[in-house]
Amino acid sequence: MPRHLCGCSSRTQRHPVQLWELLNRNNSQAEKYAHNESGQLWDIGTLSISESDQRINYLMAAFNLTLSDPSIFILTGIPGLEAAHIWISVPFCMFYIISLLGNVTVLFVVGKEQSLHKPMYLLLCMLALTDISTSTSVMPKALCIFLFNVKGITVGGCLTQMFFLYAVSVMKSAVLVIMAFDRYVAICNPLRYTTILTNTRVAKLGLVGLTRAVLFILPLPLLLSRQPFCANRIILHTYCEHLAVAKISCGDITVNRTYGLVITFVVIVLDLMLIALSYSLVIRAVLRISYKKAHQKALNTCTAHICVILTSYTSCLFSNLTHQFGQGIASNVHIILANLYFLIPPMLNPIVYGVKTKELRDKVGKYICRI
Is residue 299 located within the same domain as residue 191? yes
Rounded Cα gap, residues 166 and 163, in angstroms: 6
Contact status, residue 312 vs residue 32, Cβ threshold 8 Å: no
Contact present, 268 and 316 (Cβ < 8 Å): yes
Number of domains in the chain: 2
Residue 86 in any domain: the answer is no
Rounded Cα–Cα distance for residues 347 and 97 (Å): 9
By residue range, what is the domain housing residue 254? 96-134+166-229+249-370
The reply to whether 180 and 264 lie within a common domain is: yes
Listed as ranges, residues in the chain with pLDDT below 70 are 1-70, 290-295, 319-320, 322-327
Same domain for 210 and 341, yes or no, is yes
3-class SS letters over 130-195? HHHHHHHHHHHHHHHHHHHCCCEEEHHHHHHHHHHHHHHHHHHHHHHHHHHHHHHHHHHCHHHHHH
Q: Do residues 59 and 188 share a domain? A: no
Give the C-alpha separation, 227 to 343, whole Å.
Answer: 30
Determine the pLDDT at residue 230.
Answer: 82
Together in a domain, 28 and 116: no
Residues 127 and 45 in one domain: no
Q: Which CATH number fits the domain that encloses residue 117?
A: 1.20.1070.10
- What pLDDT digit, counting tens, does each position of 242-276 carry? 988 998 999 999 999 999 889 988 898 899 999 99
For residue 147, tell me if it sits in a domain.
no
Identify whether the C-beta of residue 192 lies closer than 8 Å to the C-beta of residue 185: yes
194 plus 279 within the same structural domain: yes
pLDDT reported for residue 287: 80
Is residue 71 domain-resident? no
Same domain, 8 and 115: no
Question: Of 18, 46, 65, which residue sits at a domain end?
Answer: 65
Please state, in angstroms and rounded to a whole number, the distance separating the CA atoms of residues 125 and 235: 34
Residues 13 and 116 in one domain: no
Which secondary structure element, helix H or strand E, spans residue 211, and what is its range?
helix 199-217
Classify residue 85: in a domain, yes or no.
no
| CA–CA gap between residue 126 and residue 203 (Å, rounded) | 9
Whether residue 31 lies inside any domain: the answer is yes
Residues 48 and 129 in one domain: no
Roughly how many angstroms between the first and final C-alpha of the chain, as a whole number?
A: 64
Quick one: the chain helix, strand, coil %, rounded to 5?
75, 5, 25
Asked which of 15, 47, 65 is the last residue of a domain, the reply is: 65
Is position 330 within any domain?
yes
Same domain, 130 and 42: no
- What's the confidence (pLDDT) of residue 324? 64
Whether residue 244 is contained in a domain is answered as: no
Give the pLDDT of residue 111.
94
Cα→Cα distances 152→2, 122, 257, Å: 28, 38, 24
Is residue 214 located within the same domain as residue 341? yes
Look at residue 339 and tell me if it is in a domain: yes
Residues 6+ away with beta carbon under 8 Å from 235: 73, 74, 75, 76, 158, 241, 244, 245, 248
Among 23, 42, 65, give the residue marking a domain's end: 65
pLDDT at site 290:
67
Instruction: Tell me which DSSP letter residue 129 carries.
Output: H
pTM value is: 0.81
Residue whose C-alpha is closest to residue 162's, from 177, 141, 176, 181: 141
